[in-house]
Amino acid sequence: MFESEYREKLRTPEEAVKVVKSGDWVDYMFFNAQPKALDKALAKRKDELFGVHIRSAISLPPFPQVPQCDPTMEHFQWDSWHFSAWDAKLGDQGICSFSPLLYHEVPSYYRNRHVEIDVAMVRVTPMDKFGFFNFGINTSHNEAVCENAKIVIVEENENMPYVCGGHGNQIHISEVDYVVRGENELMAGPAILEATEAEKAIGGYILEDLHDGCCLQLGIGGLPNYLGKQIASAGLRDLSAHTEMLADAYYDLWKAGCLSGKKKELDRKKMVCAFALGTQDLYDWMDHNPQIATYTVEYTNHPSVISRISNMISINACLEVDFYGQAASEMQGIRQITGTGGQWDFVYGSYHSPGGKSYLCMASTFKDKEGKLQSKIKPFLTPGAACTVSRQLSQYIVTEYGKALMKCQSVWKRTENLIEIAHPQFRDDLIKEATKLGFWKRTNKIEP
């Protein structure tokens, strides 16, 4: 029924990118939604175009060619909502600019016309018999982008998993201007990270607070994958998943029979996410799996939605914390290395969940450029670093030395709690700094 319309809109990548004009704003979407064949074709038009803005985030291999072909940014300017390690390197070279956000708000940025959008490009599954292309493992904010773009181009990829909705997880041929057949690359995933000894200790502290019926939001990296295995071996049951990112940890929990979703008030028995990032095993598991539902990020990450789910447990990473309880999770000093993502959304929403808790996790130390050990707990955040989670919002800070409660604590009590989970080598110096600032009282448990 829709084959004739499909054929009318089918183009080669080179033909499709001819719609891009100098000065246009082109959206490449996030993660595995980034176009590949279209990107190559657009890069070849470099000398014909000037001042084209490309908006994207979390670039994954094979990396986009457009920003690499024009280091002067005369032809293409690369903007990112959230840096991957590759985007951060572009930022260091001055080729990529960063746009701060609250992830749950992103669809509204497009719908309220706070951002310009001329051409949307997105990788999708092949069209089904009903005329729909599925966004696969990348629902996120794609629907809002496509609804507000002047021109929509979809790039089919036969290796894109079909993921059930939810809502906002598909686009109809009638809403598409051009269709391109891609090169069917496999979906990319993050580097496999083994948990460090510090992360294993952190996982143990969090595990103490988990119980049957919790709903989990896990971030990225070695810690969540380790926690998934530990939770599975602990024998917890009737857990649920409501998260922005579905990671391999959830697959491990499902295999162990831990994830039933029976206790969840919203989307009962469904594992809910906005996107996925992991191994091919994860993607194969998600394909046509009726137990998984992708939604737009304005649903998965909205604090009002998160707060309606009982016993919501949010576990994310941060880079440093100061005596106020402020957490920097995306910058090392003035250097932008990642983004806010949904951390703020889940920290706020989980606290308001009945029985919910949020944890910001980090090893207590790092080594500087000279190889010298430094504390990640500091009197003040490193100058230039933006605060990701404010002191009013942080609930628990966790290091390999324990959990520190921030909510409802005075500044001196926050300081005491944080110093107790700092590396022992730095505790005396931190107490001296706290005393100078007037953040230390004679009644504190650790005497200066």
- Residues tagged active-site: 244
**Hey, what are 435's tokens?**
């005393």
Please answer whether residues 278 and 309 qualify as being in contact, where contact means their C-beta atoms are separated by less than 8 angstroms.
Answer: no
In sequence order, the β-bridge partners of residue 271 are 292
> How many C-beta atoms lie closer than 10 Å to residue 370's C-beta?
6
- Assign 9 to helix, strand or coil: helix
- Amino acid at the residue 105: E
Report how far apart the first and last C-alpha atoms of the chain are (Å, whole number).
78
* Residue partners of 402: CB distance under 8 A and separation at least 6: 205, 420, 421
CA distance 396 to 105: 25
* Residue partners of 222: CB distance under 8 A and separation at least 6: 193, 194, 195, 196, 199
Residue 256, φ and ψ in degrees, nearest 5: -85, 0
CA distance 278 to 258: 19
> Which DSSP helix (H) or strand (E) runs through 225?
helix 222-234
Q: What is the dihedral of CA 99, 105, 108, 113, to 10 degrees?
A: -20
CA distance 169 to 425: 50
- Assign 178 to helix, strand or coil: strand
CA–CA distances in Å: residue 286 to residues 135, 137, 162, 170, 412: 13, 8, 8, 15, 47
In sequence order, the β-bridge partners of residue 317 are 361
């990020």: which residue's tokens?
297
CA distance 175 to 149: 10
